[in-house]
Amino acid sequence: MKGADRRLVVASQNAGKCREIARILDRFEILSLAEFAPVAFPEEGRDYFENARQKAVTAALATGRVCVADDSGLEVEALGGAPGPLSARYGGPDLDDRGRLEKLLTELRDVPAPRRARFFCVAACARPDGRVALAEGSCEGEISTEALGEGGFGYDPIFRPDGFAQGMAEIGREEKDALSHRGRAFRALEAGIEALLKAADA
């Protein structure tokens, strides 16, 4: 990997997440994991940091390139921090994004406002030799009583960030990227990415 190689592979099959990361890391050239042979990721556990690290390292070993990944979750105060790292699998494999957020709204039906919550993200960057950089970011807010807006993905339609009258799925992409947990985590990771790319070019 000689020369000024600014290419990063996003270790995710989630198209919405990949587009969001590409917007946030616009200083780099983002490659899709779909351009490479299928990657078998380890089963995710209950630790954001380990999940993000494993995804990035697994993709880096499989592709031979510097890879970025994240592990994110919605933590609801009234549910003791659930669904947390299990957010993408909340309610079991038969539920899609809409089914998961509807399940969560049902569980919070009798909880009065404000129903405090936060999005949390750990972002990771890994080289094929196993070296890793990690960073984190969060976004505080509350859970609405119904899904709002058509933008975003995952739990965005039921999350209202602090200081906003609109939900996460109603605000513009640039504004979302500036305040979101994923935006904050990947911006915090940029120095680590630069260091790993320089080491790869050495």
* Domain boundaries, position 14: 7-201
CATH code of 74's domain:
3.90.950.10
- Does the pLDDT of residue 125 top 90, yes or no? yes
The pair phi, psi for residue 129, each rounded to 5°, is -85, 5
- Could you tell me if residue 133 is inside a domain? yes
- The number of distinct structural domains making up the chain is 1
Which residues are part of the catalytic machinery? 71
pLDDT computed for residue 131 by the predictor: 96
- Return the half-sphere exposure (C-beta side, CA atoms, 13 A cut-off) of residue 82: 13
Q: Is residue 52 in some structural domain? A: yes
Is residue 70 within 8 A of residue 85, CB to CB? The reply is no
Residue 104 CA to residue 155 CA, distance in Å, equals 9
Q: Residue 1's pLDDT is what?
A: 40
Looking at residue 3, what is its pLDDT? 47
DSSP string, 59-128: HHHHHSS-EEEEEEEEEEGGGTT-EETTGGGTT-TT--HHHHHHHHHHHTTTPPSP-EEEEEEEEEEE-T
Q: Is residue 1 part of a domain?
A: no
Span 96-106, pLDDT tens digits? 999 999 999 99
Structural domain contains residue 56: yes
Q: What is the pTM of this model?
A: 0.92
Q: Judging by beta carbons within 10 Å of its beta carbon (0-12, 13-18, 19+), is residue 3 exposed, middle or buried?
A: exposed
Q: Which two tokens stand for residue 159?
A: 């999350």
- Domain presence at residue 132: yes
DSSP letter assigned to residue 143: E
Is the residue at 2 inside a domain?
no
Are 120 and 178 spatial neighbours (Cβ–Cβ below 8 Å)?
no
Cα 102 to Cα 99: distance, rounded to the nearest angstrom: 5
Q: What is the mean pLDDT of residues 42-60?
A: 94
